[in-house]
Amino acid sequence: MRSMKAIDFSGFAFREGRHKDVAVIWMDFKYDRAKIDLVKSLKGRWSRSEKCWYVPDNTYFRTLFGMEIPPVGKGVLSKLSPVNARELQRMKEVLQMKAYSPSTIKTYMVEFAQLLYILKDVPVDSLGYDRLRAYILYCINTLKISESQLHSRLNAIKFYFEQVLHKPGFFAEIPRPKKPSTLPKMLSQKEVKRIFDVVQNRKHLLMLQLCYGMGLRVSEVVNLKVSDIDSGRMQVLIEAGKGKKDRYVPLPSAVLDLLREYYKAYQPKTYLFEGRYGGRYSVRSVQAVFKNAMKAAKVNKPIGIHGLRHSYATHLLEYGTDMSFIQQLLGHNVLALGAVADFGAIYCPPNVKFLRRKNTQF
């Protein structure tokens, strides 16, 4: 492609649009052979149905054409009108008073701000059902955001109307997209061993071993304190896990040996895993450790560190462990037989179910 500085776009008009269900920028101009050659040099394409040239709608072309780049993520927070910025602050305060986690507050703030940005100077507290419905359809049909992100955005908007404006019935008629029924990604026992074998740093290895060997979330691993390890009762306190629930998990003797070796080598003060300058180890750093180990072990699967936890549950099932017991280990609510069945459908692949049925004969 040609350099941005060398291109003269006088005589062109640019507009947003969609073509074959893809966001594009239409390029309007009077017929001119030189202009057509210019568009072709930009890899522009001709639409027979629209009788117009176009290029993909992305940051590069928006910058090249001098078009506004819609803010995304945290960048949208500074683009809000004063009237709606105040409402965003109100929602943040309510979230804090209800003791929502920092990560949830951040997610709700960013997602709610996307709506506020679109509204410009229109006060969000005056929003009616029809306009909100139109915005949701805009997210689905134009922005093409994923189902998971749409759920996050709807949760944030719902929180504002129900908890900040105290309109509990406002969201009752807003339909929710159906959540896809996806199976968790997991690793085989051989793949787990290969990953562990390539990790040379003792601290890094132990963090991964706790994710797998005890089925812990990465956030639970970095929040572990030295005082949480009870070697006398062979259990570990998971304090304020997901949903701010405390639970105890069994401490395998093999893991206890690893913990003792680690403690002698690193002498942690408060948190079991501390950063270079003290304080808690970061979640992102542990995720990077796992990603690098996957690459070094040549395990080519689209899976994150949470996959160690899923693998832990599945491997326990393969060995015939009771599903309700595994639920308790993982910190899931055990409410009824239906909940256990749902858990089994997620974590128990068809071949494992067959083996479990077969084992019941003995």
Please classify residue 34 by burial: count the beta carbons closer than 10 Å to its beta carbon, then call 0-12 exposed, 13-18 middle and 19+ buried: exposed
All residues at 6 or more sequence positions from 133 whose CB lies less than 8 Å from its CB, including other chains: 174
Please write the tens of the pLDDT for every residue from 88-117.
999 999 999 998 888 889 899 989 999 998
Among positive and negative, which fits the CA dihedral 220, 223, 226, 228?
negative
Interatomic CA distance for residues 206 and 315, integer angstroms:
19
Q: What is the pLDDT of residue 302?
A: 86
Number of Cβ within a 10 Å radius of residue 287: 14
Most confident of the following: 75-79, 196-200, 333-337: 196-200
Please write the tens of the pLDDT for every residue from 139-162.
888 777 878 888 999 999 999 999
Confidence of residue 315 (pLDDT cuts 50, 70, 90): confident
Interatomic CA distance for residues 222 and 281, integer angstroms:
6
Structure tokens at 90: 């109100």
Interatomic CA distance for residues 291 and 297, integer angstroms:
10
Q: What is the pLDDT of residue 180?
A: 64
Number of Cβ within a 10 Å radius of residue 69: 10
Structure tokens at 259: 């913990």
Q: What is the pLDDT of residue 356?
A: 40
Q: What is the pLDDT of residue 243?
A: 63
Q: What is the mean pLDDT of residues 179-193?
A: 79
Domain boundaries, the chain: 4-65, 73-164, 189-359
- Check pLDDT > 60 for residue 309: yes
Please write the tens of the pLDDT for every residue from 7-40.
889 899 998 877 876 778 999 999 999 999 999 9
> Which is nearest to 255 in space by CA: 236, 242, 280?
236
Please, are residues 223 and 280 in contact by the beta-carbon 8 Å criterion?
Answer: yes
Confidence of residue 361 (pLDDT cuts 50, 70, 90): very low
Q: What is the pLDDT of residue 348?
A: 46
All residues at 6 or more sequence positions from 168 whose CB lies less than 8 Å from its CB, including other chains: 162
Pick one of 3.50.30.10, 2.60.34.10, 1.10.443.10, 3.30.565.10 as the CATH number of 189-359. 1.10.443.10
Q: What is the pLDDT of residue 182?
A: 63
Name the fold adopted by 73-164. Answer: DNA polymerase; domain 1 (1.10.150)
- Check pLDDT > 60 for residue 230: yes
Interatomic CA distance for residues 63 and 59, integer angstroms:
6
Q: What is the pLDDT of residue 70?
A: 67
> Which is nearest to 187 in space by CA: 284, 323, 299, 332?
299
Please, are residues 202 and 265 in contact by the beta-carbon 8 Å criterion?
Answer: yes
Please write the tens of the pLDDT for every residue from 331-360.
665 443 333 444 344 444 444 433 343 333
Q: What is the pLDDT of residue 200?
A: 93
Provide the greatest CA pair distance for the chain: 84
Q: What is the pLDDT of residue 259?
A: 92
Average pLDDT, the chain: 82
Q: What is the mean pLDDT of residues 261-266?
A: 93
Provide the 8-state DSSP code for 231: T
Q: What is the pLDDT of residue 333?
A: 55
Residue with structure tokens 């060995």?
Answer: 319
Structure tokens at 75: 């960048």
Q: What is the mean pLDDT of residues 198-212?
A: 93
